[in-house]
Amino acid sequence: MATGVIRLFSRVALFVCGMTSILLSRAFEFAQVFIPDFHVKWRIFSAVLLVVGGLTVLIALVPSSWLESACKIGPNTQERSSLPIKLLGCFAALSYLLTVGLDLIPRSWHVTPQLAYLLCPACVLTITVDPSLGSVLLMLAPLNAAAYGSLGAVLGYFFLAVRNRR
């Protein structure tokens, strides 16, 4: 019973993280339409978020038996099957802290737009305003955590599939 609830929660978390990445990808495409001359490679950010989000949603929606056979998860490798969820949590926590830290650094450091959007993809939503610490804590950091969590899950499934092929 407990593993069924954990699997359901994992699937929901994967789906939410993937959809967040896809929606942030759309925000980068809208930014390209409205601010085309800005010195940021909007298409690259959009494409990466779309691919990672799409893969995460796909992983969340396919049957467990397909994932187990693709990653060769059996009775002797069951303890390693939680790697994608662990990486999702680690990437999400690190991204949350990084986003809050990015908001707290002095403005005199002059962070380039490419680096800012790499560290904080959700910052595209606040391109014309300077967000307050409260909006960073409650909006930007959770969105970034979901986007990077989705990257962590995809990498986790990739590592699991490659490692169990041996």
CB distance 43 to 32 below 8 Å: yes
Residue 89 has pLDDT above 60, yes or no: yes
CB distance 24 to 121 below 8 Å: yes
Per-residue confidence (pLDDT) for residue 160, from 0 to 100: 81
Per-residue confidence (pLDDT) for residue 107, from 0 to 100: 75
41-45, 87-91, 108-112, 122-126: which has the highest mean pLDDT? Answer: 87-91
Token look-up 């019973």 returns: 1
End-to-end CA distance of the chain: 31
Distance CA 38, CA 34 (A): 10
H/E element holding 94? Answer: helix 83-104
Distance CA 54, CA 147 (A): 11
Q: CB within 8 A of 50, min separation 6: which ones?
A: 21, 22, 25
What the block records as the tokens of 128 is: 């014309």
Lowest mean pLDDT among 40-44, 72-76, 143-147: 72-76
**pLDDT above 70: percentage of residues in the chain:** 84
pTM for this model (two decimals): 0.82
Per-residue confidence (pLDDT) for residue 1, from 0 to 100: 41
Who wins on pLDDT, 95 or 35? 95
Please give the C-alpha separations between residue 106 and each of 54, 100, 109, 110, 156, in angstroms, as whole numbers: 35, 12, 6, 8, 34
Per-residue confidence (pLDDT) for residue 2, from 0 to 100: 47
Mean pLDDT of 44-52: 90
Closest to 126 in 3D by CA, of 138, 114, 135, 115: 135
Within the chain, where are the H helices? Answer: 2-34, 42-61, 64-71, 83-104, 113-119, 133-135, 141-163
Mean pLDDT of 135-142: 89
DSSP state of 138: I
